Chain A
Amino acid sequence: MSDVAVVGFAQTPSVRRTTGTTNGVEMLVPIFQEVLGGLGLSTPDIGFWCSGSSDYLAGRAFSFVSAVDAIGAFPPITESHVEMDAAWALYEAWVKIRTGEVDTALVYGFGKSSAGHLRRVLALQLDPYLVTPLWPDSVGLAGIQARLGIESGLWSERAMAEVVARSRSDARANPLAQLSGEVDVEDLLAQPYLADPLRAHDCAPITDGAATIVLASGDRARELCERPAWITGIDHRVDSPSLGGRDLTTSPSTVAAGKAAGADGVSVAELHAPFSHQEILLRQALGLGDEVGVNPSGGTLCGNPMFAAGLARIGEAARRVLDGEAERVLGHATSGPLLQQNLVCVMEGRD
């Protein structure tokens, strides 16, 4: 089976609100032009298209079908969609290339969270019999998880604030970040609680945005790109949907996916952590030591385009290889409540 590599990545700026429609077309048209233009490709060169988005976020049925307009799907294309983060669309595209069916694929994710009330919309991903009827919001649930870790001694409010301060500081080098700047940990800890024990800065911002990645197989990747980011391992696992039935202070699915994908030896990891304590949790679950640079882009805490942020983590990690800055990197994506489902993608450069 053919090796697969990330050869291109583009994303929109992460912003609090766009004026575009919820079908994402306005955000997708420019990033498709950017990523394809950068590779010297056009629409008919892509063998398979795969997207991630959510109708609940858009507030309309089949919003992903309208999004296909952004492709210019003539002559007809081969296309698929996942109702989850586009990192899982990338997995589908990776399988499609591995089977030899196509040699290129373009993956994209988009979300206009500003159209609705994100904290309530996310209640619809919970158990529809026992949990959603109570309308628990995403921040309230994350607070329960954060407290479990704090009271178990796995992290602290200070350690969480330190994650935020480092992320915002790193994001100064990312012109597409929604939040960035030097912040003082003491000032952060002096802020009021949003959902005790979480403060507003512990929670990813509400973001409109989109991201896209182009994958290619062996020889095609080498033609398209000087230094492809070869996928050496990719795996995704899921934990029980029962929030009270699993250990929320760790993530068995991340541990398993990290092992299967081969997380050892990476120098950069982009972790999809919508809450500050989740970065610490994921770091522990993946066994990433202090020598690993985590979220040099600023991460999800500095911009969280729903259904694209996980794909963007893989893209941000791959970019370090494409640019020649790093040899071996890791991109992580999560889906579902409280890190229920996790995907790990390990990539490396080959000189």
Chain B
Amino acid sequence: MTKPLSAPLEVGFDYTRSLGPTLSRFMTALRQRRVTGVRGSDGRVHVPPAEYDPVTAEPLTEVVDVASTGVVRSWSWAAEPLEGQPLDRPFAWALVLLDGADTALLHAVDAGSPDRMRTGMRVRVRWADDRVGAITDIACFEPSDEPALEPLDDDGDPVTMITSPVRLHYRHTASAEESSFLRGLAEGRLLGQRCPACGKVYLPPRPACPTDGVPTAEEVELPDHGTVTTFCIVNVPFLGQRITPPYVAAYVLLDGADIAFLHLVLGCAADEVRMGMRVEAVWKPREEWGPTLQNIDHFRPTGEPDAPYDTYSQHL
């Protein structure tokens, strides 16, 4: 069996999150180069602040200022920093107990070498130059017995939201069955497969027939014409839209297939498209073909008489 097709898949999104009162106070203080915690029911000072007491579950409201200096409680060495981490050179991850706090904060320590790290060492906050009210306003910690930079009051509004960018990188792999379908498309062929249990022809073929739970197997080449089983008229504009509305997105059941797939129907007025309409593929120029269903630019009416309802009623 030839190797399944694969391609990079980049997933990126910016989470926006509302902070609530406790974290809002904490983040606003960070913007001013201050670290604050909250006093727990047992008198302990939680830094970062807990919204609810971890033991009694009571809401916690008493804000306590703590220092921007503290002690390393434990650490590990990040020899090869990863994307998004606080430093792009080797550093230590550490739990730092700030002076005046009873719980430790996780952050990076810019120590240069693991030889300069030890549990119990003194560190101070290195504040970011541009602070927005986020945990990254603490650029990192640095080994030092000296105080950190003084707080810098601002008259900005309280921070109520944070934006957290997420960027993840994957290698997406098509199934073996999908891969043969995609390779067929690159040659202008439509290759489906038949389920060995129920005999249905799937396009694209699947690693498991959803009815029987077994991979489709026997290859079936299908023609590039078929029947509109159902459709909708797109009237709403959206980001990335290629065609000016109104236009028709339709399920097309190729002759000999048992599963319809979604494509465009163009070449007639949108209000002329109907269930049972016979359509054929309009392929892009051959030099533009690749392993993708986009080789078919759209479907257009063939002008044949409509297919009788019975021929597609089981495929709706």
Interface residues, chain A, with chain B CB atoms under 8 Å away:
19-22, 25-26, 28-29, 32, 43, 56, 59-60, 68-74, 114-117, 119-121, 123-124, 128-137, 139-148, 151, 193-198, 240, 242-246, 248
Complex Cα distance, B210 from A68, in Å, reads: 7
A-chain residues with CB within 8 Å of residue B50 when the two chains form the complex = 242, 245
Given contacts A70-B213, A148-B74, A195-B76, contact A243 B95 (CB under 8 A): yes
Most buried by A among B76, B135, B136: B76
Q: What's the Cα separation between A248 and B168 when bound, in Å?
A: 28
Distance of A123 Cα from B105 Cα, bound (Å): 16
> Which residues of chain B from 40 to 63 have any CB-CB distance to chain A below 8 Å in the complex?
46-48, 50, 54
Decide if B128 is an interface residue (CB 8 Å cutoff): no
In Å, the complex CA distance between A130 and B104 comes to: 12
Q: Are B93 and A129 in contact (CB under 8 A)?
A: no
Which 8 A-B pairs give the minimum distances between C-beta atoms?
A143-B76, A72-B213, A244-B104, A135-B84, A59-B170, A196-B77, A69-B208, A245-B103
The smallest C-beta distance from A17 to any residue of chain B, in angstroms, reads 9
Q: Is the CB of A26 within 8 A of B175?
A: yes
A193 in contact with B79 (CB, 8 Å): yes
Q: Which residue of A lies closest to B91 (CB)?
A: A140
Complex CA–CA separation, A151 to B210 (angstroms): 54
Counting CB contacts under 8 A, is B238 at the interface? Answer: no
In the complex, chain B residues 104-143 whose Cβ is within 8 Å of any chain A Cβ:
104-108, 114, 119, 134-136
Q: Are B54 and A143 in contact (CB under 8 A)?
A: no
In the complex, the answer to whether A134 meets B86 with C-beta atoms within 8 Å is yes
**A21-B175, A72-B210, A147-B75 known; A116+B169 contact, CB < 8 A:** yes
Q: A22-B173, A116-B169, A134-B85 are in contact. List 17 more A-B contacts (CB 8 A).
A: A21-B178, A25-B207, A29-B207, A29-B214, A29-B215, A59-B168, A129-B135, A129-B162, A130-B106, A130-B135, A131-B135, A133-B164, A137-B78, A137-B82, A143-B75, A242-B54, A244-B106
In the assembled complex, the CB of A116 is this many whole angstroms from the nearest CB of chain B, namely 5
Shortest C-beta distance, A15 to chain B (Å), equals 14
The listed residue (A69, A117, A128, A246) touching B169 by CB distance below 8 A is: A117
Known pairs A29-B208, A140-B93; A147 contacts B173 (CB<8 A): no
Are A144 and B210 within 8 A (Cβ)? Answer: no
**Is the CB–CB distance between B94 and A129 below 8 Å?**
no
Task: Report the Cα distance A183→B84, complex, angstroms.
Answer: 36
Bits for B151-175, please: 1 = Cβ < 8 Å to A, else 0: 0000000000010101011111111
Report chain B residues within 8 Å CB of A124. 166
Interface residue from B48, B74, B209, B212 paired with A144 (Cβ < 8 Å): B74
Measured between beta carbons, the chain A residues less than 8 angstroms from B93 are: 136, 140-141, 143-144
**B207 contact from A20, A72, A141, Cβ within 8 A:** A20
Q: Which of A25, A29, A32 has the most CB of B within 10 A?
A: A25
Contact of B174 with A116 in the complex, beta carbons under 8 Å: no
Cα A56 to Cα B215 with chains together (Å)? 26
Q: Which of B19, B86, B170 has the most CB of A within 10 A?
A: B170
Instruction: Flag if A244 contacts B95 (CB, 8 Å).
Output: yes
Say if the beta carbon of B286 comes within 8 Å of chain A.
Answer: no
Q: Does B11 contact A (CB under 8 A)?
A: yes
Q: Given A71-B213, A245-B46 in contact, is the A22-B172 Cβ separation under 8 Å?
A: yes
Contact call B208/A70, Cβ cutoff below 8 A: yes
> Are B173 and A21 within 8 A (Cβ)?
yes
Write the B249-273 contact mask toward A (1 if CB under 8 angstroms, else 0).
Answer: 0000000000000000000000000
Q: Flag if A147 contacts B164 (CB, 8 Å).
A: no
**Which B residues touch A72, using CB under 8 A?**
197, 208-214
User: Does B242 lie at the interface of the complex (its beta carbon under 8 Å from any beta carbon of A)?
Assistant: no
Q: Please list 17 pairs of residues, one from A and one from B, whose beta carbons are closer than 8 Å in the complex, sorted by A's number.
A: A20-B4, A21-B175, A21-B207, A25-B208, A29-B208, A72-B213, A73-B213, A116-B170, A130-B106, A135-B82, A135-B83, A136-B93, A137-B78, A143-B77, A145-B74, A195-B79, A246-B54
The interface residues of chain A lying within 8 Å CB-to-CB of B134 are 133
* Chain B residue at minimum C-beta to C-beta distance from A147: B74
Do B48 and A133 have beta carbons less than 8 Å apart?
no
Known A119-B82, A244-B104; judge A20-B211 contact (CB<8 A): no
Closest residue of chain B to A121 (Cβ to Cβ) is: B168
Contacts of B95 in A (CB 8 A): 144, 243-244
**Is A130 in contact with B48, judged by CB distance below 8 angstroms?**
yes
Which one of B54, B82, B105, B197 has the highest number of Cβ atoms from chain A below 10 Å of its Cβ? B82
Contact A120 B15 (CB under 8 A): no
Residue of A nearest to B47 (CB): A244
From the candidates B94, B119, B210, name the one contacting A69 in the complex (CB within 8 A). B210
From A128, A140, A147, A246, B119 is in contact (CB under 8 Å) with A147
Looking across the interface, which residue of chain A has its beta carbon closest to that of B9?
Answer: A59
B3 contacts across to A, CB distance below 8 A: 19
Kindly state the separation between the CA atoms of A137 and B85 in the bound complex, as whole angstroms.
9
B-chain residues with CB within 8 Å of residue A119 when the two chains form the complex: 82
Flag whether B220 is at the interface (Cβ < 8 A).
Answer: no
Considering the complex, give the chain A residue whose CB is closest to the CB of B84. Answer: A135
Judged by a CB distance under 8 angstroms, whether B23 is at the interface is yes
Contacts of A142 in B (CB 8 A): 76
Within 8 Å CB of A121, what residues of B? 168
CB-defined contacts of B176 to chain A, threshold 8 Å: 19, 26
